[in-house]
Structure 1
Amino acid sequence: MKDLRERLTSNNKTALTQAIHGLGGIGKTQIAVEYAYRYQEKYDYVFWIQMADDTDESIPHSSTDPSLTILNSYVGYCNKLQVSFDENEVETAKHAFKNWMGLNKNWLMIFDNADKPDCLESFLPVQFQGHVILTSRANSFTRLGILESLEIKKLTLDQANDFLIKRVSRQLNSTEEKYARALAIEIDGLPLALEQAGAYIQETAITFKRYLKLYKNLRIELLEEQKPVLGGYAKTVQKTWLLNFQAVEDELPAAVEVLRFCSYFAPDAIPYNTITAGASFLNNSIQEVLEQAIDPILGVAKLLKPLSKYSLINIEPGEERFSIHRIVQEVMKTQANSIEEVKELEEQVINVVECIYPWTDYDNRSVAFQLFSHCLIAAEYVNKNLIVTSRSTSLLGKLGRYFFYTGAYKLAEPLYHQALLISNSLVEKDLDKDEAIDQVVVSLNNLAMLYRRTQQYFDAEPLFIQAIDIVENQNVPENDLMLASLYNNLALLYKVWDHQEKYNRIEQLYLKALVIMRSHDDQSREVASVLSNLAAYYETKGRNQLAQKNFKLAIRLLRTKYEQGEINPDLGSAINNLANLYRSQEKYGKAKPLYKEALEILNESLGPEHPTTKTIFLNNKVNDEKLKL
């Protein structure tokens, strides 16, 4: 409110017109009302033009001619102010009232719901001494000389929580306060929705706990049970936004399809490539817009423009991503014609997210983190709809890998199990059999690696052996590298497993892996990993010269990549292993700079809280204690 007043009174002629814009139900009209009330003594005249009739639900926004609405209002104001015009030519009222605004000062004009702001240009004088405020779902007002509008954003969590508690007009105990806050989180700071929820709770006297439980099941259906009472809202959330959906559809039908599709994603940070990379899975109208565009990103921009225009989405400048308020998503979901349509949209999300979600490692961990919420919700759709496809298997494996990479092993395990179950089911049903068999191998390997990491060695071994048997029996050259990886992983299991008979097989497995990997180009990182593992094995056998040689070979390969700008945790681990060798030989001075370098690399690549980083920190601490002796 203070900001709006300062802008209007800044003595800048271009600031005499200000726009308040934002999502429907965000409180734009209420701010304009409050401004007019608070500063009424500063004005001799206050004019209010309702650009769309929100009280008559039979009249959609798109069917109301805003120019005619303004002209009729100007006729009325001319009559009240006794400004003369030719009553036989009502158009003359427009020029008469514009002239009056140009000659007089200390007046305030508010155009409420000016969702087509360009039409105002011809109704305002070139120069005037009053103030103009318009509220709008649109977000561009350059034709009116407004380069920086006031965007009304959702309430903060604390503001929304305070609103709900005050709205119900009763004392709350600590339990109820907790559920009030949880409800504020669900409603996500939208004032109109908060008013509907608060009015329902206040009028029915039910608890916040009960309402929250009902809301999680019924969503928009529950909100629609109660019309807003306070705040001057004429329509409920759903009815407010359905008008905007229709306006967008009139402008570009494919844009509504984008909104429909994206309503099944997590609400925040939806990347453009959900539309570009996943185009083949989407509605034909979306594909047509993308195909006709010079560049795919320009096609996405065209699809998003009408959605942004009506503040249905919030585009993050320069980031190629956008967000949707979660209640906009809920309203959009109510427009589905059948359960089958919902399932189809949810499967589209699964397919698209699987396409864009990476197999988490150091190089793409930031991308995986950014897309994590979308991958999580897509995995929920797999469970909900029992989707049995190679893509659903891959998606679950990728999400499990993310948890594995971040050390959340308990969260990774059920995902790996489910991926294995689905891939086995695909093999049994003879659906995409070759791809399904590959998925079985990947799932077996993932689960076995998890068991190895969590010291469940008896469970890990048969899974590795089963995967190796499958690949060896396939005898497909394209799967050589997978076989090499499996040999390496089984060797790692035997290395940490206190079992002499199995321990003696380690060298053979590593050497078999190295032969395969060295026959392929650009496998330096993988070769380095096996060399480092082999060196660690030699160390345990007391073959220290071979151990040192292989550690140094591994570090040399990884350091070459590092010097080319590739920061990889494998280099840190390899350096740590060589430091451990020196420490075991009581060469603590040689070990110290290596531990320091390893920690620097691991802190940068994995972070200080990762289990591997913590282990190397402890190794360094032990080495320092030995140095002090």
Structure 2
Amino acid sequence: MSSAHAFESNTIGNDARIHQGNIIHNYAIAPRQPCVLIPFLRNEELIRRQDIVSELDRILPLSDDYSTAALYGLGGSGKTQIALDYAYRRCQVPNCSVFWVHADSETTFTQDFKAIAKRLGLSANLVGEDLLMAVRYRIETSHPWVLVLDNADNLRLFGVSHATQDALNPGEHTSRLDKFIPRGPRGQVLWTSRDERIAGGIVAARRAIKVPKMTPSEAKELFESARNSQGDSDEANYIEELLDELEWLPLAISQAAAYMKRTLITVEEYILKLRDGKKRWKILKQSQSDRHRRPEVSNSILETWNISMKYLQTENKTAHQILHIHAFLDNQNIPIELIRQAALYVEGSNDMDHIGETHSDDSSSVSDNDDDKVNEAVARLCDFSFLSVQATENGYRTYKMHKLVQEATSI
């Protein structure tokens, strides 16, 4: 709390230095206490993915300099839990202030900045940009400090423009929130995002870490921890089969284990449900309670991806169309010609009857504009990890899509 001092009928503030001849008067406030504002409990059941943790600690150590880093990858890959672990480990550093902001929208960003302002004791009269800027400046003086910006999926909010969307919506105004991000010394900012453009767009490419699916051993350890039961020898093959079916994605594994624990069904019974078409979607859409995630956001792996899909539908309709058409095709070894046909399909035409057929002269029939449109759409699908390159041979590239992404798209 700031205060003022009277000095010969003058009012002066904190941290002032008064020179009077050869006498110097110092008025300094006591050192501020560290402030910690994290909305989730520490995850005591976290399976620490040591390769990622070590790399994060290497590029984002506590230092006297300002530094940033980002974790990016498919929704449900574990970015938030890795960031949460980083935040709590920084809480153990003496006098370190740690703040957490949900960065998925202007609304959540502003709400969390208001909560920080209240915790820091800033004036209740501050509103709008004055409040946001006051929080930024106050954090910058809270040495040392860490700020986590979670789920920054709409990068336009932070100054990363998208040429295609900007061209389609020239009059659309998007608030810029990047000017409110603290940048003071002895501070570290950690971002999480589903959009790979954060690498190079907000943080230096070498300071961005892609969070992939878990290794088989990590996935097995997470499953047993979440289910609170060690798999016996009779279950070993079924567990391996289940983890493969869930593509080693942490959120899908945690939700499956929580469901089995709650309903007391076996791994084999769960697999049988997954293989029953009608029951499969129902069980994958189940949202289990998780104290380490926001209660107002669905924890269903299928619903989780809908956030990115809705964003793509607004930003790049061609990418969204490719995604939906390929939800009903083979998810492996997808040739670019097949993706191009899906991209250029016109509703009401009979082109759908021929999707899947490849032609040697496809490339000559596509205009440069169409080719650019397809390439941009494919790039955006790869940015969100919905598509990934499977093989490149003699300049010929094929792609693959997560099976669960296909199912989320086809719902």
Give the TM-score category using the shorter length: 0.5 to 0.7
Does the 8 Å CA contact 2:63/2:186 hold for their aligned counterparts?
no
Q: Which residue matches 2:87?
A: 36
Tell whether 2:274 aligns with 1:209. Answer: no
Q: Which residue matches 1:330?
A: 407
1:18 aligned counterpart, secondary structure = strand
Structure 1 residue 276, shift from structure 2 partner? 3.0
Q: Separation in 2 of the partners of 1:298 and 1:39?
A: 45
Structure 1 residue 283, shift from structure 2 partner? 5.1
Return closer, same or farther for 1:21/1:283 CA change in 2, 3 Å cut-off: farther
Aligned residue runs from structure 1 range 541-556, under 5 A: none
Match of 1:306 among 361, 380, 383: 380
Larger strand percent: 2
Structure 1 residue 152, shift from structure 2 partner? 0.7
Return closer, same or farther for 1:277/1:330 CA change in 2, 3 Å cut-off: closer
Q: Which residue matches 2:135?
A: 97
Q: Which residue matches 1:62?
A: none
Structure 1 residue 154, shift from structure 2 partner? 0.7
Equivalent position amino acid for 2:146 in 1? L
Q: Which residue matches 2:191?
A: 134
Tell whether 2:27 aligns with 1:27. Answer: no
Return closer, same or farther for 1:232/1:96 CA change in 2, 3 Å cut-off: closer
Identical-residue share of aligned pairs (%): 25
Equivalent position amino acid for 2:108 in 1? T
Q: Which residue matches 2:56?
A: 4
Q: Could you list the runs of 5+ residues in structure 1 that have no partner in the other structure?
A: 53-65, 335-629
Return closer, same or farther for 1:93/1:230 CA change in 2, 3 Å cut-off: closer
Does the 8 Å CA contact 1:118/1:144 hold for their aligned counterparts?
no
Q: Which residue matches 1:176?
A: 235
Return closer, same or farther for 1:278/1:313 CA change in 2, 3 Å cut-off: closer
Aligned residue runs from structure 1 range 219-238, under 5 A: 219-225=280-286, 227-229=288-290, 231-232=292-293, 234-235=297-298, 236-238=300-302
Q: Aligned residue pairs: how many?
A: 316
Return closer, same or farther for 1:89/1:172 CA change in 2, 3 Å cut-off: closer
Q: Separation in 1 of the partners of 2:219 and 2:375?
A: 32
Q: Which residue matches 2:306?
A: 242
Q: TM-score, normalised by structure 1?
A: 0.46
Aligned residue runs from structure 1 range 128-167, under 5 A: 128-141=185-198, 142-148=200-206, 149-167=208-226
Does the 8 Å CA contact 1:23/1:137 hold for their aligned counterparts?
yes
Aligned residue runs from structure 1 range 177-576, under 5 A: 177-217=236-276, 218-225=279-286, 227-229=288-290, 231-232=292-293, 234-235=297-298, 236-276=300-340, 294=368, 297-315=371-389, 320-334=397-411
> Over alpha carbons, which structure has the higher Rg?
1
User: Structure with the greater relative contact order (CA < 8 A, sep ≥ 6): 1 or 2?
Assistant: 2
Deviations 1:114-138 (A, max 9, x none): 1123434222245532111111111
Structure 1 residue 184, shift from structure 2 partner? 0.9
Structure 1 residue 295, shift from structure 2 partner? 5.5
Match of 1:111 among 145, 149, 173: 149
Match of 1:45 among 97, 116, 122: 97
Q: Which residue matches 2:354?
A: none
Structure 1 residue 163, shift from structure 2 partner? 2.5
Equivalent position amino acid for 1:301 in 2? N
Q: Separation in 2 of the partners of 1:8 and 1:154?
A: 22
1:97 aligned counterpart, secondary structure = helix
Q: Separation in 1 of the partners of 2:397 and 2:324?
A: 19
Larger helix percent: 1
Does the 8 Å CA contact 2:343/2:374 hold for their aligned counterparts?
no
Q: TM-score, normalised by structure 2?
A: 0.68
Return closer, same or farther for 1:228/1:330 CA change in 2, 3 Å cut-off: farther
Structure 1 residue 277, shift from structure 2 partner? 6.0
Return closer, same or farther for 1:127/1:98 CA change in 2, 3 Å cut-off: same
Q: Separation in 2 of the partners of 1:187 and 1:72?
A: 35
Structure 1 residue 282, shift from structure 2 partner? 6.9
Q: Separation in 2 of the partners of 1:96 and 1:212?
A: 53
